[in-house]
Structure 1
Amino acid sequence: MAGKVRYLCPRDGRYHARLVVPKKLRGIVGKAELRTPLGGDYRQALKLLPGAVAQLQHQIAQAEQKANAGKPQSDPARYPLAPAQMAQSHYMQRLAFDDELRNDPRWPGVGIDDLLVKRLRDAIAGHANDAELGALVGAQIERFRAAGNLDAEPGSPEWREIARALCHAELEALARVAERDEGDFNGTPSSPIIKDAHPPEEAPEPVSLKRLWADYVTMRQQTGSMRDGGKQLGLAVEKLREFVRHDDAARLTKKDIMAWRDHLLKSLSAQTVSSKYLSTVRSLLNWAVENDKLPENVAASVKQAKPKRVQAREKGFTDAEALKILKASRLYMPHKDEAGRIREKPHMIAAKRWVPILGAFTGTRVTEITQLRKEDIRQEGDHWIARLTPDAGTIKTGEYRDVPLHPQIIKEGFADFVNDAAPGPLFHHGTDAARYVATATQISNRLAEWLRDKELAPEGVRPTHAWRHRFKSQCIELGILKRVYDAIQGHAGRDASDNYGDVSMKAKIDAINKLAFYDLS
């Protein structure tokens, strides 16, 4: 759908050509905007518009020359037009001028120069040199230059393209004049450069990418997501702004997104570009479209193929691998320096001791374990329960869940550890609740590094997810209902029926207690 015609201002059934005066020139022009009346007929206003706009732009250009007196002119054109738009403007001006001349009694004595027609056709065909082009349309080019519509140097390829476009306009205008001399005022241009040209449209209002992202994060936080304020995913938006060198989402094109993707691939994996960068921008722009902030999502169809992951083994730890990790965790002793001092933080030592066995018997996300607080662990009768809650950091589903702890965890002394701990996080040193997610994530990442450094996590296995895979495999082998182990692990149901009824604590405890003890002797 075509946008509003640029510079055309309808007001009370009448039309005007309207141009806003740049702030720095208003003192010279004496006005904040310039207007020229075009009458009440829309079609006639469109005919008169190009000439009126050209005159207004010329006034702006003259004011700019006064403001820059004595300074070299190196700025780009203030009101740039494409060659086809200049050709259409010139064509419309010629016809408007023809309408005016036909009211003059001397007009019948004016004829069409056949030699001029031939010279214009030769120029259109590319047979005219720069001098000939200058003789034919050089004055018109300079008028467009004075109005701020172009900055092409004479003789340059851009200048020649504009000149040939204006020759098209001159020839088409002469053809209309000949038709009008015969009484036919219904003629239309046949040259594609005139026929298919679109008048300049009003530029869309700028939409700040930075502001758009802030609003998007606010919306997501209202639904319980992005508790980190969008810091991690916000990097994608910042990278896009840096690449396109502006902050206007309305100016983004599909080509911009494709070029940005190709740029990212020079330093990032296809998986990261697809899953983090493109996905984030696509979701942001889609939300902007849904909320009428943008007319379209230019990133909607921009994708990046991801290499198919080669799975050479199971995703979870094997029995032997699990046993090896749990023994290393149980026997872990922090390193002492030459002075006998322990440099490692108590929270990190505790994470290495307890997080692996908690993961082994709950299948919970590692970061959900490393963000546990003392107040999240409670005893009910003979059973100990961990509450995984968004209050401690982040929960992927956005909902708290209670997970019973296996008897072996308690037998190993976890309850005593909790009782002796100070209030607050058990496995990280965060003191600001707003920073819990970041600090808990740091601990889980360091824990994964420790497992790799000690060669406890085999190649091809993700330490932060391997316990989850192993737990699920064990539950399947033991015949535990999917609904129950999904509730323990925090996996959402796949259909509506999964949302009816609650998985009771007894059902969870019975499931957890089916898991065999590990022989850590």
Structure 2
Amino acid sequence: MAQPFRSKTGIYQLRRKVPAELRQALGYEYKRSLGTRDPAEAKARFAEEWARSEAAFALARAQARGADVLTERDMQQLAARWFRSELKQLEATGDFASWLAEGTAWTVEQGSNGQEHVELTTLRQALDEDPEWDLSGKIRESVKRALAAGGIPVPTDRAKASRLEAVFKEHWLKLSDLAQERHSGNWTAQPTVLEDEPLSVETKAPSSRPPKLLELFESYAAEKVLNDGDTRAVRKTIGAYRATVEQFNGLFGEVAAREIGRDMVRDYRSALSQLPASGDGIRGLSAKQLIAKAESEGLPRVSPQTVRNKLRALSAVLSHGVRMGHLSENPVTASGIAKAAAKAAGKGAAAKRKRKDYSKKELKLIFSSPIFSDRGWSPPRADFGKAWFWMPLLMYYTGARREELAQLAVRDVKTGGEGELIPYLSILEAADEDEGRGVKTEGSRRQIPLHPDLIERGFTLYVASLPAEGQVFPMLKPNPAGFFGANFGKRWASYLRDEIKLHSSASPSHGFRHTFKTLCREVGIPEDVHDAITGHAGSGAVARDYGSMPLRRMAEEIRRYPSIASVIAEA
């Protein structure tokens, strides 16, 4: 989790690495001072500054997609804000001469002595007399500071950037004109700049009618797409959150978002815990009907984890309402109910599942089972082709997510590195490779070196036998939500449970990801290396977020990862 960074001066900062595609607009690093040396105060300010950084990143992404982030009026407004700030400081100091240029000099004779005088002119007059006089560097610096203060990305379109500099230049000249008036004693002259109003990208004042919860959700969903992109994962999250909001409305009616208080959130948590987890005929029933059915028929109730997840969904929407100025607080977090639900879910998870990774005995049972033996096993119902054999092996040897592997195209199996060519998997390294596929986060785009055992078992030969423009697992078809591995995951879970009688606390597919991390630690593979292989963000110093992990280094370390044969022998 991101935390305030303490600088050498002791003042805390927010520091975020900027993705490569946004660096032209935001620079290599997004850094803002929190203005305090107190850790507690820094944490409080950090949350607010983080929200501003999210808005800045969202604007930069929108600009990268071709959106017009700054209108002509916005440019005038930014320059007017800069003008008012500079004028306030200027009038406080009285140093008006600093905004004037030296003009004609003359000497006044006083007896045997002479006193030299210099005429002070405006910058506008100075430029008229000497067009080569260059203010561009100072103007660009003013533009840069004004954009940073407003969390606005630097325009990447050269024509737009030039126009913004021209607008600021005119305000520079206006400030010099006014400085001359003040210097000569005229305090009645007033600047002709725009009055302070929000930019088109800034939060507008809430309408007279407060938004309903569902309306607030629609605003939240639009912001999430803007921030995170219109990906399958984002659409899945939005769909789940919409269902939660509609269920909330089914319990309490279509209330205005600001009417949702702490008492209502407490009642919502109580109602959630009464919902049935399963049962015949529950599909299509309202929330109140579900609770009545669960009570009358004694149906099993939802888990504390489900209650926590639904509260998180509601909290995300309400937090958006706070950021947009519609709500004064998020009652889910302010009441402590979210924390209590998370604690209950943690206790429930601990009681239900002690391990998230497979034990070596469980791995032996899996990889000694019919799929990996010579007994000619064939799937009972679903024929996924070679995915039955290769998907579990890839999950074990790479720690990749099931969907990352299920969606692989043949062109994603590559060789690279300097000197000796290293076989590796490309997990959508570039965004333009997506083509209906996706990754969980931008940090999930990566290279994964292939373990020698995968090559010895014939994985690269298998891939070479496939059509160059096809999928690595052509029998895996995307479900309606666009996920290639969803149906395989269900059948794999059934195989473990019904075919080989494995009852593990590890998740059927994701358990391999936890196993990979466990075994990497066991053999001493450095954390930053196996984080790079699995696509996990580093949790150490800020410096870890800089640079990239070389493919050769990952390939060297992956050779230390235990082969399945050695695990089976040890179990």
Give the structure-2-normalised TM-score. Answer: 0.49
Q: Check whether the contact 1:321–1:456 (CA below 8 A) recurs between aligned residues.
A: no
Could you tell me whether the CA contact under 8 Å between 1:362 and 1:489 is conserved in 2? yes
Of 466, 476, 480, 1:421 maps to 466
RMSD over aligned CA atoms reads 3.0
Aligned residue number for residue 382 of structure 2: 344
Equivalence for 2:372: 330
What is aligned with 1:387?
426
**What is the distance in 1 between the residues matched to 2:470 and 2:241?**
28
Q: How do 1:163-178 and structure 2 match up within 5 A? A: none
Letter in 2 for 1:234: R
1:505 matched to 2:512? The reply is no
Residue identity in the other structure for 2:326? K
CA positional deviation for 1:424: 4.6
Aligned pair partner of 2:394 in 358, 362, 370 = 358
- CA separation in 1, counterparts of 2:266 and 2:507? 31
Partner of 1:15: none
Aligned-pair distance for 1:382? 4.2
Task: For 1:334, give the aligned amino acid.
Answer: S
Deviations 1:43-76 (A, max 9, x none): xxxxxxxxxxxxxxxxxxxxxxxxxxxxxxxxxx
Please state how far the C-alpha of 1:402 moved relative to its aligned partner.
Answer: 0.7
* Cα distance in 2 for residues equivalent to 1:473 and 1:494: 17
Distance 1:313 1:209 in 2: 38
> In structure 1, what is the Cα distance between the partners aligned to 2:209 and 2:557?
58
Aligned match of 2:234 in 227, 237, 242?
227
Q: Is the contact made by 1:393 and 1:433 (CA closer than 8 Å) also made in structure 2? A: no
Question: What 5-or-longer segments of structure 1 have no aligned partner?
Answer: 1-202, 337-342
**1:444-476 deviation line (CA, Å, top 9, x unaligned):** 233223222224543322222322222222212
Secondary structure of 1:213's match?
Answer: helix
Q: 1:467 aligns with which of 509, 512, 515?
A: 512
Distance of aligned partners of 1:450 and 1:248 in 2 relative to their CA distance in 1, 3 Å threshold? farther
Give the match for residue 186 of structure 2. Answer: none
**What SS does structure 1 have at the residue aligned with 2:447?**
strand
Partner of 1:454: 499
Per the TM alignment, residue 491 of structure 1 is displaced from its structure 2 partner at its CA by 1.3
Please state how far the C-alpha of 1:207 moved relative to its aligned partner: 0.9
Kept in 2, the 8 Å contact 1:427–1:440? The answer is no
1:277 positional shift: 0.1
Shift of residue 299, structure 1, vs aligned partner:
2.2
How much has 1:433 moved relative to structure 2? Answer: 10
SS of the residue 2:258 aligns to: helix
What is the match of residue 313 of structure 2? 280
Q: Does 1:258 find its partner at 2:299?
A: no
Name the SS for the 2:224 alignment partner: helix
Structure 2 CA distance for partners of 1:460 and 1:435, relative to 1, 3 Å: closer
Q: What is the aligned partner in structure 2 of residue 194 from structure 1?
A: none
Cα distance, 1:428–1:306 mapped onto 2, change above 3 Å? farther
Cα displacement (A) at 1:506: 0.7
Q: Equivalents in 2 of 1:216, 1:277: separation in Å?
A: 16
Once the 2 structures are TM-superposed, how far is the Cα of residue 250 of structure 1 from its aligned partner? 3.1
Which amino acid is 1:514 matched to?
R
How far 1:297 sits from its partner (Å)?
1.8
Aligned to 2:327: 294
Output the CA distance in 2 between the equivalents of 1:248 and 1:429.
48
Separation of aligned partners in 2, 1:351 and 1:233:
32
Distance 2:510 2:438 in 1: 17
CA deviations over 1:71-102 (Å, ceiling 9, x no partner): xxxxxxxxxxxxxxxxxxxxxxxxxxxxxxxx
Q: Which amino acid aligns with 1:299?
A: V
Measured at CA, do residues 384 and 287 of structure 1 come closer, stay the same or move farther in structure 2, by a change above 3 Å? Answer: same
Structure 1 counterpart of 2:313, one-letter code: T
* Map of 2:218 onto structure 1: 214
Structure 2 counterparts to residues 67-146 of structure 1, below 5 A: none
Distance in 2 separating the partners of 1:247 and 1:421: 56
Alpha-carbon distance in 2 for matches of 1:210, 1:424: 42
The separation in 1 between residues aligned to 2:509 and 2:213, in whole angstroms, is 34
Quote the offset at 1:393 in angstroms: 3.5
Match of 1:398 in 2: 442
Q: Does 1:367 align with 2:403?
A: yes
1:76-132 per-residue CA deviation (whole Å, 9 max, x = no partner) reads: xxxxxxxxxxxxxxxxxxxxxxxxxxxxxxxxxxxxxxxxxxxxxxxxxxxxxxxxx
State the secondary structure of the residue aligned to 1:385: strand
Q: Percent identity?
A: 24
Shift of 1:270: 4.1
**CA–CA distance in 2 between the matches of 1:290 and 1:475?**
41
Q: Is the contact between residue 228 and residue 434 of structure 1 (CA under 8 Å) also seen in structure 2?
A: no
| Unpaired segments ≥5 residues, structure 2 | 1-206, 277-300
CA contact (8 A) 2:398 2:450 kept: yes
**What is the CA deviation profile of residues 251-303 of structure 1, one whole-angstrom value per residue up to 9, with x for unaligned ones?**
32322222222111112434333431001111110111112233332222233
CA distance in 1, matches of 2:304, 2:438: 24
CA distance in 2, matches of 1:428, 1:279: 37
1:490 alignment partner in structure 2: 535
Cα 1:212–1:371 change in 2 (3 A) is farther
Q: CA deviation at 1:425?
A: 4.2
Contact 1:371 1:393 in 2 (8 A): yes
Retained in 2: the 8 A contact 1:233–1:276? no
Structure number, greater radius of gyration: 1
How many Å apart are 1:311 and its aligned residue? Answer: 7.5
- 1:410 is displaced (CA, Å) by 2.0
Aligned to 1:319: 360
Q: Distance in 2 between matches of 1:517 and 1:367?
A: 23
- Structure 1 residue 205 corresponds to structure 2 residue 209: yes
Give the SS at the match of 1:223: helix
